[in-house]
């Protein structure tokens, strides 16, 4: 028997009984919640599919099933663990590829745009959309159980039909993007075919490039008046936060030199977090200059691959840090390298390379 107060007895659907029970028991076992199933050791003879009806409609956070008339069979379900309810909901949720599709801009295009900003000395502004996912419009019926503390007396068993997107919905990122894409199209922006989170609009003597990353965006352009006009239009449509000149994006700090027009990216904070994570905050840096015969990135990549073979002999901590520091998608290999040693007695026996700016 389950302990009082830890489980909840709920009605369970009889359609395809064996399959449903197997799935639920397996999930409860994986979550270490394999409590005895009450009254479910066998399928009752009087249970027939004609007496039961499984709705193709579901409230978020629970397995929502329907029973006909007075026929009732029970299942034990944990009520104190939100993870189980969420996992059950995902298991029985109607599958839809569109629920899992959402877009973020490619990082390589971000660096490409920043290169254009530096070479043409463009203005670079940053905006943030407040509660971006709440702006999305739903194109299907979604039901949610009444939140605790907001249940209507006498109607506790009723569910809420969502009119707007919410955080936590699988559809939320995609619905937000569709609304933003529609807004940009109506304002004369063209979407880049290679990166659907990059938008461009040309004027007679200037142009604007906008990069979207979920709820964060960069706006680059030569005419500040047009940029301010776009900011105003977006603020009227969405709740925006103007961050002014871009200072940081995706964990990279942005530094601009007004004298020579240069733009520098720094990941000092990221490297500091990596060192702190692996208890190497007090490590000492050592210079490791490149060989004089390194002429191209291909040759450098070959050298790095040989280092990858050698690095496998290091401890698991070194390997994990190495892979994080040399994520190919986040940064190209710089022309300067450093490695960090432990600040312990065996200084000469353990080290790992870190990309520096």
Same domain, 180 and 58: no
Same domain, 203 and 314: no
pLDDT in tens, 44-55: 344 444 434 333
pLDDT over 60 (residue 115) = yes
Region of poorest pLDDT, from 21-25, 106-110, 112-116, 199-203: 21-25
Q: Which of 263, 292, 327 is the last residue of a domain?
A: 263
CATH code for position 222 = 3.30.310
Same domain, 14 and 112: no
Q: pLDDT-derived band of residue 298, with 50, 70 and 90 as boundaries?
A: low
Q: Residue 208: what pLDDT?
A: 92
Domain span including residue 290:
267-355
Same domain, 113 and 226: yes
Mean pLDDT value of segment 261-281: 83
Structural domain contains residue 155: no
Taking the whole predicted model, whether its pTM rises above 0.75 is answered as no
DSSP letters for 180-246: HHHHHHHTT-EE-SS-TTEEEEE-SS-EEEEEEETTEEEEEES-HHHHHHHHHHHHHHS-EEEEEE-
Spacing of C-alpha 95 from chain mean position: 20
pLDDT in tens, 165-203: 776 677 777 888 888 888 999 988 998 887 788 899 988
Count of structural domains, the chain: 3
DSSP lists the bridge partners of residue 241 as 128
Q: Residue 46: what pLDDT?
A: 43
End-to-end CA distance of the chain: 62
Distances (CA, A) of 66 to 62, 86, 255: 12, 19, 60
User: What's the CA gap between 20 and 250, in Å, rounded?
Assistant: 43
The mean predicted confidence, pLDDT, of the chain is 64
Matching residue, tokens 């944990």: 78
């Amino acid at each position: 028997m389950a302990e009082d107060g830890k489980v909840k007895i709920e009605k369970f659907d009889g359609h395809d009984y064996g399959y449903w029970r197997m799935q639920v028991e397996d999930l409860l076992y994986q979550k270490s919640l394999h409590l005895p199933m009450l009254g479910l050791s066998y399928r009752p003879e009087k249970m027939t599919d004609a007496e039961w009806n499984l709705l193709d409609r579901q409230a978020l956070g629970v397995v929502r099933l329907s029973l006909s008339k007075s026929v009732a069979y029970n299942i034990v379900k944990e009520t104190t663990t939100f993870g189980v309810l969420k996992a059950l909901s995902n298991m029985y949720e109607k599958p839809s590829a569109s629920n899992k599709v959402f877009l973020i801009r490619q990082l390589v295009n971000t660096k490409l745009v920043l290169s254009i900003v530096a070479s043409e000395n463009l203005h670079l502004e940053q905006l943030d959309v407040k509660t971006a996912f709440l702006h999305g419009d739903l194109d299907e019926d979604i039901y949610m159980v009444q939140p605790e503390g907001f249940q209507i007396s006498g109607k506790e068993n009723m569910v809420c039909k969502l009119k707007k997107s919410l955080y936590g919905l699988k559809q939320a990122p995609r619905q937000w993007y569709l609304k933003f894409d529609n807004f940009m199209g109506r304002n004369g922006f063209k979407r880049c075919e290679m990166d659907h989170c990059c938008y461009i609009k040309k004027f007679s003597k200037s142009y604007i490039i906008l990069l979207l990353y979920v709820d964060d965006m960069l706006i680059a352009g030569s005419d500040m008046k047009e940029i301010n006009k776009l900011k105003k239009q977006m603020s009227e449509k969405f709740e925006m936060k103007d961050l002014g000149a871009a200072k940081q994006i995706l964990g990279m700090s942005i530094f601009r030199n007004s004298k020579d027009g240069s733009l520098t990216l720094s990941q000092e904070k990221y490297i500091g977090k990596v060192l702190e994570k692996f208890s190497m905050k007090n490590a000492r840096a050592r210079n490791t200059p490149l060989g004089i015969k390194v002429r191209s990135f291909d040759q450098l990549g070959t050298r790095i691959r040989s280092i990858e073979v050698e690095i496998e002999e290091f401890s698991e901590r070194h390997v994990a840090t190495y892979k994080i520091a040399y994520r190919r998608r986040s940064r190209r290999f710089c022309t300067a390298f450093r490695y960090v040693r432990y600040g312990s007695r065996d200084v000469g026996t353990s080290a790992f390379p870190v990309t520096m700016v």
